[in-house]
Amino acid sequence: GNVLSFQGKAHRDQQLVLLKEHLEKYYRSRNRKWIVLFPEGGFLRKRRETSQAFAKKNNLPFLKHVTLPRLGATQVILKTLVAPQENGTPAGRDTLIKESKSKGLQWVIDATIAYPKGEPIDIQTWILGYRQPTVTHVHYRIFPIKDVPAEPEALTDWLYQRFIEKEDLLTHFYETGAFPPPQGQTKAISREMTLSNLWLVGIQSLAFLSGGMWYCIFQYFYHCLF
């Protein structure tokens, strides 16, 4: 058991090195503006038990609707893509950042997704479309990058707190059918977005024609980020 655990950690550490190299080589050189990260690092049904055991061992809150995030990819992304002066970190952190004309990442957009009855849409359903149309609810918050801690311990606390808040948001949603309203408001105001059938057909066709390619891409990013 110890050998497998060590190999798993070694593999994740190597993937983080590759992620940093990828960001430095391709992200900055192409002047990218945003990056998507899934910090939980896996499906809820697969990670919930181990996450709850970790929480119990480390005196952290018991979560049912989300899992505690993994931190490696978040730390690498912020260290690589956030300008030092914006995050209270030493000015000599990364030569690449100092020489870049870009200001780096400016915001963290924290999205929390809720599904009717807590039943998410998996990729097979998305491609084959064998479920009835459903409404997916997205709650998002925006944090200036200067408010996100840079030091590992403080960043860990900050990220855990976001997921504890997600747990409260989803608990409220599944009890009431809606996310809680913002502070000072009596009702959450939502904006409806409907995806056109033409757009969906195009995406599904692309998925069918390039299923193998998408699988390789998803697998690559999964290993890189988690």
Please tell me the predicted confidence (pLDDT) of residue 102: 57
Which tops the pLDDT comparison, 206 or 143? 143
| Alpha-carbon torsion angle 19, 25, 31, 34, nearest 10 | 0
Q: In terms of pLDDT, which residue wins out, 220 or 50?
A: 50
pLDDT above 90 (res 199): no
- Looking at residue 207, its pLDDT comes to 62
Which segments of the chain does DSSP mark as H helices, in order? 2-22, 44-57, 72-81, 95-99, 123-128, 152-176, 197-209, 211-225
In this model, does residue 18 exceed pLDDT 60? yes
The predicted pLDDT at position 113 comes to 93
Please say if the pLDDT value at position 211 is more than 60.
Answer: no
Q: What is the pLDDT of residue 98?
A: 46
Residue 224: is its pLDDT beyond 60?
no
Give the closest residue to 94 by CA, choosing from 79, 78, 76.
79
Q: Once rounded to an integer, what is the mean pLDDT over residues 135-160? A: 93
45-103 pLDDT per residue, tens: 889 999 999 999 999 999 999 999 999 999 999 999 987 644 444 444 454 444 444 57
Predicted local distance difference test score (pLDDT) of residue 204: 64
Q: pLDDT digits over 19-31, tens only?
A: 999 998 888 788 8
Q: What is the DSSP string of 41-72?
A: -S-HHHHHHHHHHHHHHTT----SSS-PPP-H
Q: What percent of the chain has pLDDT over 90?
A: 40
Quick check: 226 pLDDT over 50? no
Cα of 66 vs its chain's centroid, Å: 12
Closest CA to 31 of 88, 103, 108, 87: 103
Please tell me the distance from the alpha carbon of residue 183 to that of residue 199, in angstroms, as a whole number: 36
Count other Cβ atoms within 10 Å, centred on residue 94: 20
pLDDT more than 70, % of the chain: 74
Q: In this predicted structure, what is the pLDDT of residue 4?
A: 34
Torsion of CA 141, 144, 149, 154, to 10 degrees: -20
Domain segments of the chain as ranges: 33-84+103-190, 196-225
CA atoms within 13 A on the CB side of 209: 6
225 vs 49, residue with greater confidence:
49
